[in-house]
A = this chain, B = another copy of it.
Amino acid sequence: MFGQFRSGIERSEFGDIRPTHGCVFRYVEDEGLRLTEIAERANMTKQSAGEVVDDLVARGYVKRIPDPNDRRAKLICLTPQGEKAQAHGRRLFAEVEQSLGERFGQERIAQLRELLEEIVAVEAPYAMPHLARPQPMNA
């Protein structure tokens, strides 16, 4: 049931994506995200996040573009292939949740998700999406 996710990735055209890469796909949206942001949300060092990004760049799933607002920084963005992969992953994720609902009860699983999200918001707020990235003062 959870194996659905792993095997659904492995069998697809995105079979070279491994669990570690999740720290990028989970958080990156269209506008792109700084390495520092990825590291913070994934609760890992910037160096480790950088290695994952390097690997995804080499595989053609993401690219680094200069941040127009801060010349020190780069924005990690999905390539078209990366967007397809992300969409596929999210579809699989929804399927797992659906399967859980069918097996254990839709309402119970919905309550589970709600409670877990609440716990994460309290225990790991750094992992929550920040809708607006803080902008430098000179922007």
Q: What is the bound-complex CA distance between A118 and B119, given in angstroms?
A: 20
List residues of chain A with CB under 8 Å of any chain B CB: 1-2, 100, 103-104, 108, 111-112, 115, 118-119, 122-123
**Which among B2, B112, B119, B122 is the interface contact of A115 at CB below 8 angstroms?**
B112
Q: Can you list 13 pairs linking A and B with CB atoms under 8 Å apart?
A: A1-B122, A1-B123, A2-B123, A100-B119, A103-B122, A104-B115, A104-B118, A104-B119, A108-B111, A108-B115, A111-B111, A112-B112, A112-B115
Complex copy number for this chain: 2
Report chain B residues within 8 Å CB of A100. Answer: 119
Chain B min CB distance to A103 (Å): 7
